Structure 1
Amino acid sequence: MANCRSVVFLLFSVLSFVSSYAQTATPTFLQPNARINRWADSVFATLTPDERIAQLIMVAGYSNRKPAYEDSLVTLVRTNKLGGVVMFQGGPIRQAKLTNRLQALSTVPLLIAMDAEWGLAMRLDSTVRYPYQMTLGAIQGNDSLIYQMGANLARQARRLGVHVNFAPSVDVNNNPNNPVINFRSFGEDKYAVARKALAYVRGMEDNQLLTSIKHFPGHGDTGTDSHFDLPLIGKSRSQLDSLELYPFRELIKAGVSGVMVAHLSIPALDTTRNRPSTLSPAIVTNLLKTELGFQGLIFSDAMNMKGVTKYFPSGQADELGLEAGMDVLEFTEDVPAALAQIRQAVLDGRITQESLDERCRKVLRAKAWVGLDQYKPVVLDNLVNDLNPVQDELLNRRLTEASLTVLKNDRNLLPLQRLDTLRIASVAIESDKLTAFQQMAANYTQVDHFNLTSKTPDSTIAQVRDSLKNYNLLLVDIHLNNIRPGARYGLQAKTAGLVSELVATGKAVVTVFGNAYALDKLTFPNDTVLVSRNIEQARAIVMPYQLTNYTEDLSAQLIFGAIGASGKLPVTVNQRFRAGDGLAIQPIGRLKYTIPEEVGIDSRFLTQQVDSLVNVGISQRAFPGCVVQMAKDGKVIFRKAYGTFTYDASLGAEPKPVQLDDLFDMASVTKISTSTPALMRLVDEGKFNIDGKMADYLPSFKKSNKANLVWRDVLTHQARLKAWIPFWRDTKNPDGTWKPKTFKTERSSRFPIEVTDSLYLFRNYPKTIFEQIRDSPLNEKKEYVYSDLSFILYPQIVKRLTGENFEDYLKETFYRPLGATTLTYNPRRFYSLNRIAPTEYDSLFRNTLIWGRVHDEGAAMLNGLSGHAGLFGTANDLMKLMEMYRQGGTYAGQPFISARTMAEFTRYQFPELGNRRGLGFEKPSFTYTGNAPRSATKDSFGHSGFTGTFTWMDPDPKYNLTYVFLSNRVYPTRNNNRISMLNTRTNVAEALYQAIKRGIQ
Structure 2
Amino acid sequence: MKIKIITTVLLLLGLSTLVRAQEKTTSPEFLKYTNSKWVDSVMKSLTPKEKIGQLMFVAAYSNKGKEHEIEILDLIKKWNIGGLVFFQGDPVTQVRQMNMYQKQAKTPLLGAIDAEWGLGMRLDSTISYPYQMALGAIEDNTLIYNLGVEVARQIKSTGLHLNFAPVADVNNNPENPVINYRSFGENKYKVAQKSVAYMQGMQDAGLLTTAKHFPGHGDTNTDSHYNLPQINHSLERLNNLELYPFKELINAGINGIMVAHLNIPALDASGKPSTLSKAIVTDLLQDRLGFKGLIITDAMRMKGVTNNNKPGIVDKEAVLAGNDVLELTQDVAKAILEIENAVKKKVISQVDIDNRVRKILAAKQWAKLNHYSSTPSKELIKDLNSPKANLLKRQLVEASLTVIKNDDTIIPLKKLDTLNIMSISIGDTTKTVFQKSLSLYTKINHFNLGNNADAAIISTLKKEIEKHNLLIVGIHDSSAFPKNKIEFSKALTEFVENLPSRKTIVSYFKNPYSISKIKNIEEVKGIVLTYQDNNITQDIAAQLIFGGVSANGKLPISIGSKFKSGDGITTSKKIRFKYTLPEDAGLNSKILNSRIDSLVQQAIANKAIPGAQVLVAKNGKVVLHKAYGTHIYSDTTKVNLSNIYDIASVTKISSALPALMQLQDLNKFDVENTIDDYLPYFKGSNKADISLKQILTHQAGFSPWIPYWQKTLRKNGSYKWNTIKKDSSARFPLKITYNMWLHHNYKKKIFKAIKKSPVSDVKKYKYSGLLFYLLPTMVEKITNTNFVDYVNANFYNKLGATTLTYTPSKKFNNSSIIPTENDYLFRHNPIHGTVHDEGAAMMGGISANAGLFSNANDLAKLMQMYLNMGTYGNEEYISSKTLKQYTSVQFPENNNHRGIGFDKPYLTYKGENSNTAKDASKESFGHTGFTGTMVWMDPINDVLFIFLSNRVTPTRDNRKLYTLNTRTNIQQVIYDAMQ
TM-score for the superposition, normalised by structure 1: 0.94
What does residue 473 of structure 1 align with?
470
Matched, 1:281 2:267: no
What amino acid is aligned across from residue 407 of structure 1 in structure 2? I
What does residue 358 of structure 1 align with?
355
What does residue 302 of structure 2 align with?
305
Matches within 5 A, 1:334-483: 334-482=331-479
How far 1:707 moved relative to its partner?
1.4
How far 1:967 moved relative to its partner?
0.4
How far 1:915 moved relative to its partner?
0.9
What amino acid is aligned across from residue 750 of structure 2 in structure 1? I
Matches within 5 A, 1:363-762: 363-482=360-479, 488=485, 493=490, 495-501=492-498, 503-522=499-518, 531=519, 534-648=520-634, 654-762=635-743
427-436 or 940-949: bigger deviation? 427-436
Q: Is the 8 A contact 1:480 1:490 kept in 2?
A: no
SS of 2:184's partner is coil
Matches of 1:452 and 1:240, distance apart in 2: 45
Which stretches in structure 2 are left out of the alignment for 5+ residues? 1-19
Matches of 1:767 and 1:133, distance apart in 2: 69
What amino acid is aligned across from residue 320 of structure 1 in structure 2? E
Runs of 4+ in 1 over 4 A off after TM superposition: 483-487, 489-495
What amino acid is aligned across from residue 81 of structure 1 in structure 2? N
Matches of 2:77 and 2:809, distance apart in 1: 72
What does residue 263 of structure 1 align with?
261
Matched, 1:921 2:910: no
How far 1:854 moved relative to its partner?
0.1
How far 1:487 moved relative to its partner?
6.1
How far 1:435 moved relative to its partner?
1.2
Q: Is the 8 A contact 1:177 1:485 kept in 2?
A: no
Q: Against the structure 1 CA distance between its residues 114 and 267, is the aligned structure 2 distance closer, same or farther, given a 3 Å change threshold?
A: same
Matches of 2:594 and 2:213, distance apart in 1: 47
How far 1:780 moved relative to its partner?
3.6
Q: Against the structure 1 CA distance between its residues 504 and 681, is the aligned structure 2 distance closer, same or farther, given a 3 Å change threshold?
A: closer
Q: Is the 8 A contact 2:516 2:562 kept in 1?
A: no
Matches of 1:161 and 1:588, distance apart in 2: 41
How far 1:495 moved relative to its partner?
4.4
The counterpart of 2:935, out of the listed 941, 944, 951, is 951
The counterpart of 2:973, out of the listed 962, 969, 991, is 991
Matches within 5 A, 1:897-912: 897-912=878-893
How far 1:494 moved relative to its partner?
5.0
What does residue 14 of structure 2 align with?
none
State the Cα deviation string for residues 312-371 of structure 1 (Å, max 9, x = none).
122111110001111000011111111111112122222111101110111111111101
What amino acid is aligned across from residue 630 of structure 2 in structure 1? T
Q: Is the 8 A contact 2:483 2:510 kept in 1?
A: no
What amino acid is aligned across from residue 700 of structure 2 in structure 1? A
What does residue 208 of structure 1 align with?
206
Q: Is the 8 A contact 1:752 1:762 kept in 2?
A: yes
What does residue 27 of structure 1 align with?
28
Matches of 1:228 and 1:106, distance apart in 2: 34
What does residue 112 of structure 1 align with?
111
What does residue 10 of structure 2 align with?
none
What does residue 187 of structure 1 align with?
185
Q: Is the 8 A contact 1:454 1:494 kept in 2?
A: no
Matches of 2:663 and 2:22, distance apart in 1: 67
Matches of 1:786 and 1:144, distance apart in 2: 54
What amino acid is aligned across from residue 318 of structure 2 in structure 1? G
Matched, 1:871 2:852: yes
Matches of 1:374 and 1:289, distance apart in 2: 31
Matched, 1:40 2:49: no
Matches of 1:69 and 1:360, distance apart in 2: 27
What does residue 819 of structure 2 align with?
838
What does residue 132 of structure 1 align with?
131
Q: Is the 8 A contact 1:221 1:233 kept in 2?
A: yes
Matches of 2:454 and 2:421, distance apart in 1: 23
How far 1:378 moved relative to its partner?
2.2
What amino acid is aligned across from residue 721 of structure 1 in structure 2? F
The sequence identity of aligned pairs, in percent, is 48
What does residue 791 of structure 1 align with?
772
What does residue 651 of structure 1 align with?
none
How far 1:942 moved relative to its partner?
0.3
Matches of 2:215 and 2:33, distance apart in 1: 29
The counterpart of 2:796, out of the listed 815, 818, 836, is 815
How far 1:937 moved relative to its partner?
1.5
Q: Is the 8 A contact 1:481 1:490 kept in 2?
A: no
Matched, 1:962 2:944: yes
Q: Against the structure 1 CA distance between its residues 960 and 21, is the aligned structure 2 distance closer, same or farther, given a 3 Å change threshold?
A: farther
What does residue 15 of structure 1 align with?
none
Matches of 1:132 and 1:203, distance apart in 2: 17
Q: Is the 8 A contact 1:480 1:491 kept in 2?
A: no
Matches of 2:234 and 2:465, distance apart in 1: 55
What does residue 154 of structure 2 align with?
156
What amino acid is aligned across from residue 954 of structure 1 in structure 2? D
SS of 1:626's partner is strand
SS of 1:824's partner is coil
Matches of 1:68 and 1:400, distance apart in 2: 40
SS of 1:668's partner is helix
What does residue 329 of structure 2 align with?
332
How far 1:781 moved relative to its partner?
1.9
SS of 2:422's partner is strand
How far 1:163 moved relative to its partner?
0.8
Matches of 2:235 and 2:859, distance apart in 1: 65
Matches of 2:794 and 2:482, distance apart in 1: 50
State the Cα deviation string for residues 856-896 of structure 1 (Å, max 9, x = none).
00111111110100000010111100000011111122010
Matches within 5 A, 1:161-180: 161-180=159-178
Q: Is the 8 A contact 2:482 2:510 kept in 1?
A: no
Q: Is the 8 A contact 1:558 1:587 kept in 2?
A: no
SS of 1:755's partner is strand
SS of 2:655's partner is helix
Matched, 1:779 2:732: no
What does residue 880 of structure 1 align with?
861
How far 1:762 moved relative to its partner?
1.1
Q: Is the 8 A contact 1:430 1:495 kept in 2?
A: no
What does residue 831 of structure 2 align with?
850
How far 1:720 moved relative to its partner?
1.8
State the Cα deviation string for residues 724-747 of structure 1 (Å, max 9, x = none).
110000100010011111111111
What does residue 57 of structure 1 align with?
56
TM-score for the superposition, normalised by structure 2: 0.96
How far 1:301 moved relative to its partner?
0.1
Matches of 1:696 and 1:748, distance apart in 2: 35
Matches of 2:398 and 2:68, distance apart in 1: 42
SS of 1:939's partner is coil
Count how many residue pairs are aligned between Structure 1 and Structure 2.
Answer: 957
Q: Is the 8 A contact 1:629 1:963 kept in 2?
A: yes
How far 1:482 moved relative to its partner?
3.5
Q: Is the 8 A contact 1:675 1:868 kept in 2?
A: no
SS of 1:741's partner is coil
Which stretches in structure 1 are left out of the alignment for 5+ residues? 1-18, 523-530, 649-653
Matches of 2:105 and 2:959, distance apart in 1: 67
Q: Is the 8 A contact 1:179 1:484 kept in 2?
A: no
SS of 2:227's partner is coil
SS of 1:754's partner is strand
Q: Is the 8 A contact 1:424 1:474 kept in 2?
A: yes
Matches of 1:776 and 1:158, distance apart in 2: 75
